[in-house]
Amino acid sequence: PTNTSDGWRMAEKSVDGSWRGPELTGGCPKHPTWPANPQFTLAPSTAGDCIVELSQKQAPDALLPIGLVVLKGKLGVPVGPTMSSSMIVTKSKYKASAAQRVTFACPPLGEGECYVILASTFEPGQEGDFTLGVGHEGGDFTLEPHPRSATPLPKQPAAAPSAQASSGAAASIGDDPAIKSALAELAEQQGRGKTVYEDGSFNCAGKDSKTLYISGAPAARSKKIDAWARLHALSGGGDLGGTYGKPGTLIIPRDGLEDRHILGAIAMVRSRPGLLGRVLAWSQEGAGMHGLRFFKDGRWQTVVVDDLLPCHGKRQLAYSSEGEPREGPVAIILKGLAKMYGCYEAMSGG
CB 326 within 8 A of CB 315: no
DSSP state of 200: T
Phi-psi category of residue 236: left, alpha or beta, with phi > 0 → left and psi -120 to 50 → alpha: left
Q: Which amino acid is at 322?
A: E
pLDDT for 141 equals: 92
pLDDT for 244 equals: 41
pLDDT for 46 equals: 92
74 DSSP β-pair partners: 113
- Provide DSSP, 119-153: EEESSTT--EEEEEEEEETTS-EEEEEPP----PP
d(CA 281, CA 164): 14
The 10s digit of each residue's pLDDT in 158-217 is: 333 334 433 343 345 557 888 888 888 888 888 888 878 899 888 876 655 788 888 777
pLDDT for 86 equals: 87
Q: What pTM does this model have? A: 0.53
% of the chain with per-residue pLDDT over 70: 83
pLDDT at residue 85 is higher than 80: yes
The 10s digit of each residue's pLDDT in 99-144 is: 999 999 999 999 999 999 999 999 999 999 999 999 998 778 999 9
The 10s digit of each residue's pLDDT in 32-57 is: 889 999 999 999 999 999 999 999 99
CB 232 within 8 A of CB 307: yes
pLDDT for 83 equals: 87
pLDDT for 70 equals: 96
pLDDT for 236 equals: 67
